[in-house]
Amino acid sequence: MKKVFALVDCNNFYVSCERLFRPALNGQPVVVLSNNDGCVIARSNEAKALGIPMGEPFFKIRAFARRQNVHVLSSNYALYGDLSGRVMDVLHQMEAGVEVYSIDEAFLSLPAARGWDRLSYVAEIRERIRKHVGIPVSIGIGPTKTLAKIAGRVAKKEGRYQGVFDLADNGQVDAVLQQTGVNDVWGIGRRFTEKLNRRGIRNAFELKQANEAWVRNHLTVVGARIVMELNGISCLPLEKIPSSKKSIVTSRSFGQPVTALDDLRDAVITFASRAAVKLREQMLEAGALHVFLATNDFGAPAASYANGQTVTMAHSTSNTPLLISMALQCLKSLYRPGYRYQKAGVMLSGLVSQGYRQQSLFFPTTEENRSLMTALDRINSKWGQDTIQYGMTGMQKPWEARQSHRSQAYTTDWHDLPVVNAS
Relative to beta strand 3-10, strand 137-142 is: antiparallel
Three-state DSSP class for residue 71: strand
CA 234 to CA 112: how far, in whole Å? Answer: 13
Three-state DSSP class for residue 394: coil
CB 143 within 8 A of CB 5: yes
pLDDT the model gives residue 398: 63
Length of the chain: 423
Please give the share of the chain, as a percent, with pLDDT higher than 70: 90
> From the CA atom positions of the chain, what is the Rg in Å?
24
Instruction: Identify which of 345, 327, 305, 303 has the alpha carbon closest to the alpha carbon of residue 390.
Output: 327
Segment 385-414 shows an average pLDDT of 68
Instruction: Identify which of 344, 324, 321 has the alpha carbon closest to the alpha carbon of residue 263.
Output: 344
Instruction: Identify which of 24, 199, 6, 284 has the alpha carbon closest to the alpha carbon of residue 120.
Output: 6
Relative to beta strand 30-33, strand 71-74 is: parallel
Q: Is the pLDDT of residue 368 over 80?
A: no
For 174-191, the pLDDT digits (tens) are 999 999 999 999 999 999
Q: How sure is the predictor about 282, in pLDDT bands with cuts at 50, 70 and 90?
A: confident
CB 279 within 8 A of CB 286: yes
CB 9 within 8 A of CB 3: no
Can you name the residues that pair with 105 across neighbouring β-strands? 9, 102
pLDDT the model gives residue 404: 66
DSSP 8-state symbol, 367: P
At position 155, the amino acid (one-letter code) is A
pTM of the predicted model as reported, rounded to 2 decimal places: 0.77
CB 7 within 8 A of CB 148: yes
**What Å distances lie between residue 266 and 33, 122, 381, CA to CA?**
25, 49, 21
Q: Is the pLDDT of residue 19 over 60?
A: yes
Segment 49-78 shows an average pLDDT of 93
What the chain holds in terms of domains, given with CATH numbers, is 247-383 (3.30.1490.100)
Relative to beta strand 164-166, strand 247-258 is: unpaired
Three-state DSSP class for residue 242: coil
**What Å distances lie between residue 66 and 37, 58, 69, 72, CA to CA?**
15, 11, 5, 9
Backbone angles phi, psi at 363, to 5 degrees: -120, 115
CA 47 to CA 272: how far, in whole Å? Answer: 38
